[in-house]
Amino acid sequence: MVDPIFIVVAALGVGFLIGILGKLGKTFTGLLSLLTIAFMTYVSAGWLLAFYSGSQVAEVITTAGFQAPFSISLLMGYNEAFLTTIVNFMGLLGGIYLFFNFGRKGRNAYVVYIVFLMGLNVVIMSRDLFNLFVFLEITSIATAGLILIEDGNRTVGAGFKYMLATSVISSIFLLGIIFIYFFTGTLSLEDLYNNANLQNAGGAIAIFLVMVAAILEMKPFPANGWGLDVYEGSHQGFSALISTATATASFYMLYKILLIAGAAWNYPIALIGAFTFIGANLFAVKQKYARRMLSYSSIGQLGLLMMIMGLREYLGDNLNFIVVTVLLTNVLAKSGFFWLIGMVKALKLKEWAIIRRKPFMLFLMGVFIFALIGFPPFPSFFGKWEFIMSLAKVGGFSWIAVILIGSFFEAIYLFRWYGMAVKGEDIYDNLEFKTKLNKLIPVGIVTALLFIIGYFSAQYTEAGAMINFIPFIFVLVLFAVDKLPLMVKNIASIAALALHFYMIYPNLAGDNLRLIFEVIFMVGGILTLIAGFSYKGVRRGFYPVAILMYAGLTAIIEAHTTLGFFYGWELMTAGSYFLIIRGKKSMPHALSYMLFSIAGAYAILAGFSIAGIGYTDFNLDILNNIQYFPNWAYGLLLVGFLTKTASIGLHIWLPGAHGEAESDVSPMVSAILLKAGVFGVVLTLIGMTKSDFDLSTLAYILGWIGALTALVGNIGAVFQEDAKRLLAYSSIGQLGYIIFAFAIMTHLGWLTGFTYTINHFMYKAVLFLTIGAVVLRTGTHNMYEMGGLIKKMPFAFVAVLIGIIALSGVPPLSGFTGKWLFYNAVIEKGWYFQGTIVFFSGGLAFLYLFRLIHTIFLGQLKDNHRELKEISIWFLIPIYTLIAGLMVFSAKPQWVLQPLGEIIANYFPNGGLRWDGAFAYTQLGHWTGTGVMITIATVFVSILIILKMLTRKAHKLEQFDVVFSGERPERPETTHIAYNMYAGFYKAVWPLTLPYFEKFWEWATNIVHETAGFGRRVYSGNGQAYMLHIVLFIIVLFFITIGGSL
C-alpha cells in the first residue's frame, strides 16, 4: 500500500516542480497536474479497495517524528479512504473539464488547483484540530484563488464575500481550538472524544465555537448567502468541485467535531439541516436563472446531509448506506449538472430550450434531475427509502414530513426547468454551445456511475436485490439505438412486451387478480404500440420512455415487497411524464401531472413507512396487518393511489395531460396507466379487509370520493369543445365509478369494480385511439371544426358508436353488465344517496357521448375535409381487436366474471352471483349477457330490414337539402350546432362547473411562490448583510444550544 502521506508529498512536490518546469508549455503542465491528481486518486482508491476486501486496518500517519500539533497527524480508515477517493476522483474529472481553461490562465492555476485538492484530503484525514484548521485555511485560500482567477464583476464579488465569510469562520474556529487546548491540553481528536475536561461551562463554550464554525462551513440557512454567490460567481467547472468535493470534506469535518461535541448537538444539527433543506429548495422555486437555482439545490442537499448526521442515532446499521447513497448522488449529479451548465451557457431557464439541439445533452440533463429528486434506479432512491423507513420505526414522522416537503419543493423547480428545456420555444439564435471532448468525458463518466452505483445500491438491501433490472436495461438499449428507423424500434418494443408477458405468465397463472392487471398493461401496451406504425420518421425518444412506463407497470404487478412496488411506481411515473410532455402544448400539463404524481408517490412512501413499523422486512403482505396507526397508513396509501386515478380534488392534471398527449399516447395513459392507481387501491382495500381495526369510516369516505368524482368528471365532459379533453373528463368520471364500486366493500361491489375496470380499459382505448386518429386526419381537436365524417371514415364511426354504447351502459354490450351489477350492489349496501349521484352521473354521460358522435360524424361536412380518407389501418387493427374483446366479454361475461367471483370470495365470501350456465342471479333478479346480446341483435336486425324496405325509394338528403327561413345558408359551417351545444343545460348546473379545485391549487401555488419570493429577499447580494447573517446565526444558535445552561 502506498503511504497516504504521499498524497501530500505528490501535491506539494509537483506544485513546486511546475514552477520550475512550467516553461515546457501549458500542455505539459496540465498533463503533469492530471497525472498527479490521478496518482492521488490511485493512493486513496487503493486503500479503499483494501478496506473493502478486509485486508487492511486503519493506520495513523505522523511526520517529522513529532506528535500533533507539532507535526501532521493523519488517519487513513475506511471513511477517510472512501471520502478522499471521492474528492480526488472528482478533482481528476474536474481537472479534465478545466484543462484548457487553466491552460489559458497560466501554470499557476494548476498549482492552486492541486493545493486545493491536497487541502481537502488533509481536512478529511486529519486527526488533530490544529492541523484541521491549518489545512482548512490552505483550502480556503486556494478556493479564493480559483474563484478570483476568472474575470468579471460577479466573480470578484463572489471571491470577496467568500474571503469575508471564511475569515470570520476561521477566526471562530481558531478561538475554539485555543479554548479547547487550554481546557484539555490536547488537540488530538481521539483524546477529545468524551474528554471530561470539556464537561464544564468553559468546555461548552469551546465546543460551541468549533461546532458553529463547522456548521457554517456547511452553509446553513440563513447564513449561506455568501455560499450562493460563490456557487453562482465561480467558473462552472470549479463550482462543481465546491458543491461536491468541498462539501464532502466539510461534511466529514462536521462529523468529526460532532463526535467531540456529543449527542446533545444531534438535535440542533438535524434542525438546522431541516431548515436549510426546506428553505433552500423553497427559495429556489422563484428563481429564473439556472446557476442560481442549482446553487440553492446544492445548499439544500447539504441540509439533507446535516439532517442525516443529526439523526444518525435513529438510523442504526443503515447510517453508512444512507450517507453513501445520498452523498454520491449529490456528488455525481450536481457536478455533472454544473459541468453541463458550463457547456450550454444559457443563463435563464427559458433559454435552456437550446439544449434540444443536442438530444444527448437533454438526456444527460434528465438523468441529473431524476437522480437529484430521488427516482430509481439512482442511489438516492434507495438511500431515501432506507432513511424514511428507519425514521418511521422510531416515530420520526415530523422528520419524514420535512424530507418529503423539501424534496417536493426541489421537484417543482427542477421539473419546471426541465419542461422548459424539453418543450420551450427555441428562439435564441444568438445562443450557441459546443461540446468539447474534454468537457463531455467527465459528464459522461458521472452519468454512467449514477446508473452503476444505483444498481449496486439496490443489491445492498434484501428487498432491492429482488428487483428485476432487465426491463430497465432494455430501456437504456433503446436510448442507445434511438436513431434507428421507427419500424425497427416499434417491432422491438412490441416483441419485448410480448416476450416479457410470455415469461412471467407462469408466475401469475395462479394469481388471477394480478393477471387481470398484467393483461391490461402488457396486452394493452402491445395494442397501443401497433398504432405507432402509422407515424413516419424516427420518432426519437418515444420508445425508450414508452417501455420505461410499461417496465414500471409490470414491476408493480411482479413486486413482492413494498420497495419493489415503489420502484415500479416511480419508473411508471417517469416514463408516463415523458410520454405526456411530448404533446405540442403539453408543457404546463406535464408539469402538473408530475407534481401531483410526486406528491402522490410521497404519500404512498409515507404510508409504506408507517405500515412497516414493527416489521423487519418489506414484504407487501405487511399491508394485511398494519400494527400501528392503520387509519393513517391506509389513508396515505389511498391518497397516493387516488392521485393517479385523478379523484376529485386531485384530478386537475388529467384533462390537459391526456387531451394534449399524442394520439397513441392518450390511450396509453388513460386506458392503461390509470389502472395502476386502481391496482393500488385494490391492494390497500385488501389489506383493510384483513385488518383487525375498524376501517369502515375510511371506506365510507372513499365511497363519497368516488361518487363525487363521477359527478365532476361527467359534468366537465359535457361542456368540452375539445374531443380529447371530453374523453379525458370522461375518464375521470369512469374512474369515479370504479373507486365507488370498490369502496362498497362487498362481493357485488368489487365484482362491479373489476367489471368497470376491464370495460374502461377496452372502450376507452377504442375511443381514444379512434378520436386520436381522427384528430391526426383533421388536424384539429375541436369538435365544432369537424362534422359529416361518417362517409369519409365509416370504420371510425362504427368504432366510436360501439365505444359509446359500451360506455353508456346500454344493452347489449358489457357496459350494461356493469350497470346492472352497480344497481344490485348499491341496493344491497344501502348507499342510496351516493348511488343516486352515481346513476345521475351516468345520465350525464349520454349528453357528452351524443355530442361526441353527432358533431364529429354527423351533420355538415367541412369544405377542408372533403378529401379526407379513413383513419390509418395501424389504428384500426388495435381498435377492432379491442372491439372483438369487448364483444366476447359482452356475449360471454361468465368467462370473466366467474373467475373474478372466485377471487373476490377470498375477501368477501358471501353475497356473490349465483351462476346457472349463462344466467347470473342475485336477490333482486337475474340477467344473462348471451340472452341480452341475442335479443338486442334480433331486434336490431329486424328493425333494420323493415326500415330498408320502407325507405328503398326514399330520396337521400344531400348537404344543401336544408332550409333556414326559406333561404339556403352561404356555407355549411354556419349550420353546425356543436359549439356551445349545451348552453341551456349549463344555466341549470353552472355552479357545479366552476373551477373550485383549480382555483384552490392556483391559490396554493401562489402561496408557495409568494413565500419563496419574499423569503429570498434575505439574500440581497450585500457582503456586509451576509456577515450580519452569520453573526446573528451564531447568536441565535448560542441561545438555542447552551445559552440557557451556563
DSSP string, 974-1013: GG---TTTTHHHHHHHHHHHS-HHHHHHHHHHHHHHHHHH
For residue 872, give Cα distances in angstroms to 523, 660, 772, 796, 875: 20, 20, 11, 10, 5
**By three-state DSSP, how is residue 907 classified?**
coil
Domain around 589:
461-942
Q: Judge whether 650 and 642 are in contact, CB under 8 Å.
A: yes
pLDDT of 969 over the 70 cut: no
Q: For residue 784, tell me if it sits in a domain.
A: yes
For position 958, what pLDDT does the model report? 66
Q: For residue 209, tell me if it sits in a domain.
A: no
pLDDT of 975 over the 70 cut: no
Question: Residue 916 forms beta bridges with which residues?
Answer: 919
Q: Which three cell numbers stand for residue 25?
A: 508549455
Q: Which three cell numbers stand for residue 89?
A: 476522483
Tell me the C-alpha distance between 549 and 675, whole Å.
Answer: 13
Q: Which three cell numbers stand for residue 195?
A: 474528554
Q: For residue 133, tell me if it sits in a domain.
A: no
**By three-state DSSP, how is residue 217 classified?**
helix
Q: State the average pLDDT over residues 548-571.
A: 94
Q: For residue 869, tell me if it sits in a domain.
A: yes
Tell me the C-alpha distance between 233 and 99, whole Å.
Answer: 19
**By three-state DSSP, how is residue 18 classified?**
helix
Kindly tell me the sign of the dihedral angle through the C-alpha atoms of 829, 832, 838, 843: positive
Q: For residue 1033, tell me if it sits in a domain.
A: no
Quote the longest CA-to-CA distance of the chain.
118
Q: Which three cell numbers stand for residue 728?
A: 379525458
For residue 115, give Cα distances in angstroms to 26, 39, 121: 18, 14, 10
Q: State the average pLDDT over residues 874-895.
A: 94
Q: State the average pLDDT over residues 60-77.
A: 77
Total length of the chain: 1046
pLDDT of 436 over the 70 cut: yes
pLDDT of 962 over the 60 cut: no
For position 726, what pLDDT does the model report? 94
Q: For residue 422, tell me if it sits in a domain.
A: no
For residue 786, give Cα distances in angstroms to 522, 585, 773, 970: 34, 21, 13, 18
pLDDT digits (tens, 9 = 90+) for 854-870: 999 987 788 888 889 99
Other C-beta atoms lying within 10 Å of the C-beta of residue 1036: 12
For position 968, what pLDDT does the model report? 54
Q: Judge whether 673 and 577 are in contact, CB under 8 Å.
A: no
How many domains does the chain contain in total? 1
Q: Judge whether 443 and 512 are in contact, CB under 8 Å.
A: no
Q: What are phi and psi of 823, to 5 degrees?
A: -55, -45
Q: For residue 759, tell me if it sits in a domain.
A: yes
Q: Which of 660, 490, 644 is nearest to 581 (CA)?
A: 660
Q: Which three cell numbers stand for residue 938?
A: 334480433
* Residue owning grid cell 416489521: 615
pLDDT digits (tens, 9 = 90+) for 196-252: 788 888 888 999 999 999 999 999 988 988 888 888 888 888 999 999 999 999 999
For position 154, what pLDDT does the model report? 80
Q: State the average pLDDT over residues 302-313.
A: 94
- The rounded mean pLDDT for the chain is 90
* Residue owning grid cell 338528403: 957
Q: Judge whether 87 and 240 are in contact, CB under 8 Å.
A: no
Q: State the average pLDDT over residues 705-725.
A: 93
Q: Judge whether 125 and 189 are in contact, CB under 8 Å.
A: no
pLDDT band of residue 320 (cuts 50, 70, 90) is: very high
pLDDT band of residue 153 (cuts 50, 70, 90) is: confident
For residue 364, give Cα distances in angstroms to 347, 518, 542, 711, 989: 18, 32, 16, 43, 49
pLDDT of 79 over the 80 cut: yes
Tell me the C-alpha distance between 540 and 104, whole Å.
Answer: 39
pLDDT of 429 over the 80 cut: no
Q: State the average pLDDT over residues 788-814.
A: 92
- Find the radius of gyration of the CA atoms of the chain: 33
pLDDT digits (tens, 9 = 90+) for 339-388: 999 898 888 899 899 998 888 999 999 999 999 999 999 999 999 999 99
pLDDT band of residue 971 (cuts 50, 70, 90) is: low
Of the ranges 153-162, 655-664, 835-844, which one carries the lowest mean pLDDT score? 153-162
